[in-house]
Structure 1
């Protein structure tokens, strides 16, 4: 009879241990799922921001309503429903000798950085074109690209590299890319005529 009581007590203890282990595993699983959901929420707006460089033919420029403008520049798409802030557009290289990131562009000095990047306080949703009339990236052996650094509406700082990768910045893009304040606002050409500029 004493054995039966001991066995029953040991069984009860083992059942409690098994339940505690199961609760701990489920809690860890829930925490991992929540972290993935939080990361997806964090990237929701930033994942909808894109930029790429182009040299437009006269026909393409006319079709886009950009006739008479300098036709080398960066196309920017803010496909989210909210504006982005502290936007720095850098004309860098996908391949070739020269800067491949905004940080490398800044390292070449203020004269080069000011020529091959533009800044906007706010970029509304929509499709935009920004011309770079004084850029020098037209060498045949190079392939230009557009990099965009910005703050999303939740004030999280991001950069979309020319490779397409999206990276979170540890500081405001204006600070990360050594933008002097006050700065001249870059002119945007609205490619969505039904949207407000």
Structure 2
């Protein structure tokens, strides 16, 4: 009986140890489950933060580009004819509607002939060191731009886009720009 009792006690201990091992296994499984859940949640949060950071960087880059273009976008031109009494002069109107001057402005327009009367139109190639805010008329007859105080003397040439000018200049931050003959503004390289 003593032997049976020892065997019974031993078996009780085996059962207790088995229960403890099972409980430990269940505890380990539960802990692993929560670790996997936590890792998955952390990864999701990290991905979300990374996506948010990328979106913020893109917004910041767009805002900086808009800021960079703000002055340059306010400098533009169109072909025009200036009436000075009985004389008419073919040229290009340049407007700097920004609050600051632009620098190293080069204006180029090809020669050609008018569509209506076949009147020769001379090429324009001019460079000015500083162009303050305002409206100016560039033509072959004057080496420097003429300020335009009375727009009534200007007649835009709207039927012939060949006489649009190419503009190259630097804004007040020294960034180089080009406005091509179709009017598209690009940062120069």
- Provide TM-score, normalisation by structure 1: 0.63
From the two aligned structures, give the one with the greater helix fraction.
2
- Structure 2 residues not aligned, in runs of 5+: 1-26, 115-122, 143-159
Distance (Å, rounded) in 1 between the aligned partners of 2:184 and 2:93: 17
Corresponding position of 1:71: 89
Relative distance call for 1:131 and 1:50 in structure 2 (3 A) is same
Corresponding position of 1:169: 188
Distance (Å, rounded) in 1 between the aligned partners of 2:108 and 2:88: 17
Q: Structure 1 stretches (4+) deviating beyond 3 angstroms? A: 66-70
Distance (Å, rounded) in 2 between the aligned partners of 1:82 and 1:68: 35
Corresponding position of 1:33: 59
Aligned alpha-carbon RMSD (Å): 2.7
3-state SS of paired residue (1:32): helix
Q: 2:168 aligns with which of 124, 149, 158?
A: 149
Relative distance call for 1:3 and 1:93 in structure 2 (3 A) is farther
Structure possessing the higher relative contact order (Cα contacts under 8 Å, 6 or more residues apart):
1
3-state SS of paired residue (1:133): coil
From the two aligned structures, give the one with the greater strand fraction.
2
Q: 2:76 aligns with which of 50, 75, 85?
A: 50
Relative distance call for 1:142 and 1:5 in structure 2 (3 A) is closer
Establish whether residue 124 from structure 1 lines up as the match of residue 132 from structure 2: yes
Establish whether residue 158 from structure 1 lines up as the match of residue 174 from structure 2: no
Q: CA deviation at 1:2?
A: 2.5
- Structure 1 residues not aligned, in runs of 5+: 97-114, 135-140, 171-197
Establish whether residue 82 from structure 1 lines up as the match of residue 100 from structure 2: yes
